[in-house]
Amino acid sequence: MTLSQKSTAISIQDVHLSFGSTKVLTGVNLEIKAGEFFAFLGPSGSGKSTLLRAIAGFGPRPRGKILVGDRDLAGLPPWERNVGMVFQSYALWPHMTVRKNVAFGLVEKKAPQKEINEKVEAALSLVGLLDYAERMPSQLSGGQQQRVALARTIVVEPDVLLLDEPLSNLDASLRVQMRRELLALQRKLGLTTIFVTHDQEEANTTADRMAVLDQGVVQQVGTPQMLYDHPENLFVANFLGTANILEGNMVKGPEGSSIILKTGEQIAIDSSILGQGNLVLRPQNIMVRPENANTALRGKISHREFLGGQVRYLIDVADTQMVVDQSHSIDQPVMEIGAEVALDINRNSGVFLPQKEVTDAA
Amino acid sequence: MTHQSAGAAPARRRLTDVLFPKLSGTVLAAIFIATLLFGFLILPVAKVIYVAFVDPQTGGLTLQNFGDFFSSALFRESFFNSFYVSAMSVVLASVFALPLAYITSRFEFSGSMLIQSLGFIPLIMPPFVGAIAMQLLFGRNGTFNLLLANMGINIPFMEGLNGVILVQSVHYFPFILINLSASLRNIDRSMEESAQNLGAHGLRLFRRVVFPLAAPGYLAGASLVFIKVFDDLGTPLLLNVNNMLAPQAYLRISSIGISDPMGYVISFILVAFSVFSLWASFLLMRGKDYATTQKGGGGLSRRKLSTKENIAAYSIVVLILLLVLSPHIALALLAFGTIWSYSPLPDGYTLENFSTMFSQSGVYIKNTLVYAGLAALIDVILATAIAYIVLRTKIIGRQWLDYMATAALAVPGVVLGIGYLRTFNDLEVPLVGKPLASWWVIIMVALTIRRLPYALRACTAALQQVSISLEEAAESLGATRSSTIRRIVVPLMSGGILAGFVTSFATAAVELSATIMLVSTDQDAPLAYGIYLFMQSPSGRGAGAALGIFAVIIVAAGTLLAQYIIDRDRKKRTGER
């Protein structure tokens, strides 16, 4: 017997939630498509786990609607939701064997014994642990426990799958392997999956789309690449990778738009929006040139980190310090600390965020 | 300098080493302690067990004594009663402990502090002290039945075995409460949530997940209660219930004499049951360390109570607490009351009992302070040495010191008392002119052996917290082993040692079951025996209760002090980091 495949969309509509007087989620709206692998990404305390738990029916009851397919989950207790959740700690019951752990949900559904046996075997072989069925959870490694927790959840054929920081309890090397396995399993089952993480690399490598949360508010939704290249606010820009933020005034000139920094330097940058704001520059989008090049920005290397594939320079520019990454190859010399350099920026490699956008989010 | 002599005559040195091994101080200490434990614990208990299998006429080995035991209707009844009382005490203690543990650990309940502080008070009173007081509240002519008599109802709370069960379960239920609360608190929230996520809730959730996870803690507490009740002598004796095993052993030895084999057969059964239940609970617990709170877990899940549920929870908690605190309430009434007989409450209130008590029982109090003080002092010295030997040396067989000392837990006081009588009765103490078995020192020795496991746990825990690198640092700066122990180890262990002293002292001060066997004259009697004597006559009850209050205060003060020392120590430790 194989586990049935189904894909159900999730719609989160204007969800608010507070613990006592502390607001944890404010006006969350998200449309997660059927079969999508979706990530909630944010720092700790951003409300991402709270939102996931609210979908599963744990924690205080939120205001707003949570629809799975066309079913509103509001007010339903956790055991009537058919929403599968894998806990960060795996939460395997130590007094039951792997088989009994996996069979638990089917026993609760009063499935016939024959069906239970078949489905448990199917789920265990799906995660490659059929040979471990009679072991106790304490006899398994972290990665194996994680697989059992997954099998235990998918065996009941839930409408959606929720993963709470699924990789955080694993070793770094295992994490990479496990996230590929997770993704492969999700693709195979076609199960709509939400995955909570504070690790942008995890989200970037696995998620079809993701929502970045901060202070209970969804900051931006989109594909990992879109969020990285076109952040809509400073939080997203800073949270996803390293960003240089330069404050200034965007003006229109005869040769196109350019930003004038507080210290007077002028950098030519394409932008349809004008006025006060911040320019976001990724470190790898800046080129370091010898000092005599004809550019507006000049600085002095104050610190250098050799990272193998690239060299990261901290460069004192005007009244700030900029991070610049230069890719490294065997024939390219590394610049010395204390060297005077010029910075070259392509017109189209920066993102300008006008001032009001910053306050809009809060 | 040293390398010149290092090569000289190694063969000769090796020879002298073999002929006269240089025993280090720790080895000598280990041998001394092993001898003490062997002489005052292993030997007497082995003697008791041996005598149980010896034909008193011929001196040959036999099973006849056991045949005699089981062919006597009284002994069969006693055996059954002891078993029944122990089992029922576990049931009743569970009835008290389960709701308290569940309410405090799984709900947001404002009365939790109340339970945590008041719920453990019963343990600080020796059970036999409360027995008489309970009779005045719940006995045939006690407060409750006098009040109920108007309605023509009489509830036999305290009749025969019921009384023992009630007193014992009120006294020992905190063992279940402590263990069960701890294991309920150790269940991570995600354990329950994942079950709910997979469709389980309510009673099924409790039965399939919560209870199995808490069961090891419950069993640990329950087996402790079972064995404590099974071994206890004081309570049935004071309630005049003699058809149980421990009182039978005492009565046989004290009335027929130490050559009567029945006392030994009973002792063997008591020891066998102790060992069996400790072993069984060890087997059940093995590999079931279900502490599930872990990294990334959600911690405890405490549910909020509605107003109605809150009222219900408070009613249950207050009712149980009133019941389990009733011995203290009754004891206070008895101690401060004038005459309390055939009336719901004493006729009047007075301090006279206390003056009677102090004028008559000065010797008991003095004896108790001497016995318990000496016993506790010796306990912490032995315990520190054992802890050091076990944790810090490589002496072969060092674990056995720990096992031997801890084995005292499985030896009922009555059995140790009988063992001492049998073993040391012919051993005349020089200069004193009486056998060791009836010299006051033997009472102190019995207390030392019985309380050694408590002191040992405290000292072992204290030493485990002293990092070995602190000692190595001292040694690398030139300190010898003995001066490292004196200047580094013992000062760092001082909190644990002090806590061990106080615990040993407080519990030794109210010990009855071993001492009652060993007291040969009233002049040598400790406080607990004094209470026992007072309680024999109705006129002495007031003074006995006053002495009981005194005992409770000693134990309570000791417990608080030990707790304070441990807390202060922990704060100091964490503050230093």
Other CB atoms within a 10 A radius of the CB of residue B318 amount to 13
Residue A149 confidence (pLDDT): 93
Other CB atoms within a 10 A radius of the CB of residue A255 amount to 8
Which one of B342, B367, B402 terminates a domain? Answer: B342
Which one of B342, B368, B383 terminates a domain? Answer: B342
As to burial, measured by CB atoms within 10 angstroms (0-12 exposed, 13-18 middle, 19+ buried), residue B28 is: exposed
Residue B297 confidence (pLDDT): 46
| Residues in A touching B288 (Cβ below 8 Å) | 94-95
With CA atoms as reference, report the closest residue to A39 among A179, A174, A181, A159. Answer: A179
Identify whether residues A137 and A172 lie together within a single domain. yes
- Whether residue A91 is contained in a domain is answered as yes
What residues in chain A have their Cβ under 8 A from chain B's Cβ atoms? 56-58, 77-79, 81, 83-85, 87-89, 91, 93-95, 104-105, 108-109, 138, 149, 152-153, 156, 165, 168-169
**Residue B257 and residue B252: Cα distance in Å, rounded?**
7
- Whether residue A5 is contained in a domain is answered as no
pLDDT in tens, chain A (362 residues): 567 767 899 999 999 999 888 899 999 999 999 999 999 999 988 999 999 999 998 888 899 999 999 899 988 888 989 999 998 888 888 888 999 999 999 999 899 999 999 999 999 999 999 999 999 988 898 889 999 999 999 999 999 999 998 888 888 888 888 889 899 999 988 999 999 999 998 999 999 999 999 999 999 999 999 999 999 999 999 999 899 999 999 999 888 898 988 888 888 888 888 899 999 999 999 988 876 666 678 889 999 999 988 999 999 987 889 999 999 988 888 888 988 888 888 888 889 999 864 444 43
Look up tokens 């019941």; give the residue.
Answer: B323
Nearest CB neighbour to A105, from listed B198, B201, B298? B198
**Residue A68 and residue A64: Cα distance in Å, rounded?**
13
Low-confidence residues in chain B, pLDDT < 70: 1-23, 124, 286-302, 342, 573-577
Identify whether residues A204 and A311 lie together within a single domain. no
Identify whether residues B338 and B362 lie together within a single domain. no
As given in the structure block, the two tokens for residue B539 are 């006129």
What contacts B270, CB < 8 A, 6 or more positions away?
Answer: B230, B231, B245, B246, B249, B412, B414, B415
As to burial, measured by CB atoms within 10 angstroms (0-12 exposed, 13-18 middle, 19+ buried), residue A162 is: buried
- Whether residue B21 is contained in a domain is answered as no
As given in the structure block, the two tokens for residue B468 are 């070995």
Identify whether residues A184 and A133 lie together within a single domain. yes
- The 10 Å CB-count burial string (b at 16+, else e) for A214-253 is bbbbbbbbbebeebbeebbbbbbbebbeebbebebebeee
Q: What is the pLDDT of residues B286-333, one digit of tens each?
A: 666 565 555 444 445 567 777 888 888 888 888 888 888 888 888 888
**Residue A83 and residue B198: Cα distance in Å, rounded?**
8
Q: What CA–CA distances, in Å, run from A167 to A154, A172, A231, B189, B540?
A: 17, 9, 26, 19, 71
Residue B4 confidence (pLDDT): 46
With CA atoms as reference, report the closest residue to A130 among A112, A141, A118. Answer: A118
C-alpha atoms less than 13 angstroms from C-alpha of A22 in its C-beta half-sphere: 9
| Residues in B touching A108 (Cβ below 8 Å) | 198-200, 204
- Three-class SS of residue A196? strand
By C-alpha distance, the chain A residue nearest B299 is A89
By C-alpha distance, the chain A residue nearest B212 is A95
Identify whether residues B318 and B383 lie together within a single domain. no
Which one of B275, B307, B342 terminates a domain? Answer: B342
Look up tokens 């109570």; give the residue.
Answer: B305
Q: Residue A331 sits in a domain of what CATH number?
A: 2.40.50.140
Residue A54 confidence (pLDDT): 93
Residue type at A196 in one-letter notation: V
By C-alpha distance, the chain A residue nearest B294 is A89
* A256 bridge partner residues: A253
User: To which H or E segment does residue B294 belong?
Assistant: none
Look up tokens 């799906």; give the residue.
Answer: A126
By C-alpha distance, the chain A residue nearest B190 is A91
Contact A101, A137 (CB under 8 A): yes
Contact A269, A276 (CB under 8 A): no
As to burial, measured by CB atoms within 10 angstroms (0-12 exposed, 13-18 middle, 19+ buried), residue A281 is: buried
Look up tokens 């063997």; give the residue.
Answer: B268
- Whether residue A361 is contained in a domain is answered as no
| The dihedral formed by the CA atoms of B342, B348, B350 and B355, expressed in degrees to the nearest 10 | -30
Residue type at B441 in one-letter notation: V
Length of chain B: 577
Cβ distance of B199 and A108 shorter than 8 Å: yes
**Tally of structural domains, chain B:** 2
Q: Where are the alpha helices (DSSP H) in B53-188?
A: 64-71, 73-106, 112-118, 127-138, 143-149, 161-185
ipTM above 0.85, yes or no: no
Other CB atoms within a 10 A radius of the CB of residue A175 amount to 18
Identify whether residues B92 and B122 lie together within a single domain. yes
- Whether residue B41 is contained in a domain is answered as no
Contact B252, B266 (CB under 8 A): yes
Identify whether residues B327 and B428 lie together within a single domain. no
Q: Residue B448 sits in a domain of what CATH number?
A: 1.10.3720.10
| Residues in B touching A93 (Cβ below 8 Å) | 191, 194-195, 209, 212-213
User: To which H or E segment does residue A309 belong?
Assistant: none
DSSP letter, residue A327: E
As to burial, measured by CB atoms within 10 angstroms (0-12 exposed, 13-18 middle, 19+ buried), residue B153 is: exposed
As given in the structure block, the two tokens for residue B240 are 């005049």
Which one of A204, A229, A254 terminates a domain? Answer: A229
> Which residues form the domain of A134?
10-229
**Residue B86 and residue B246: Cα distance in Å, rounded?**
12
Cβ distance of A91 and B188 shorter than 8 Å: yes
C-alpha atoms less than 13 angstroms from C-alpha of B509 in its C-beta half-sphere: 26
Longest dimension (CA), chain A: 80
Cβ distance of A89 and B204 shorter than 8 Å: no
CB of B286 less than 8 A from some CB of A: no
- The 10 Å CB-count burial string (b at 16+, else e) for B125-141 is bbbbbbbbbbbbbbbee
By C-alpha distance, the chain A residue nearest B191 is A91
**Tally of structural domains, chain A:** 2
> Which residues form the domain of B426?
358-577
Residue type at A26 in one-letter notation: T
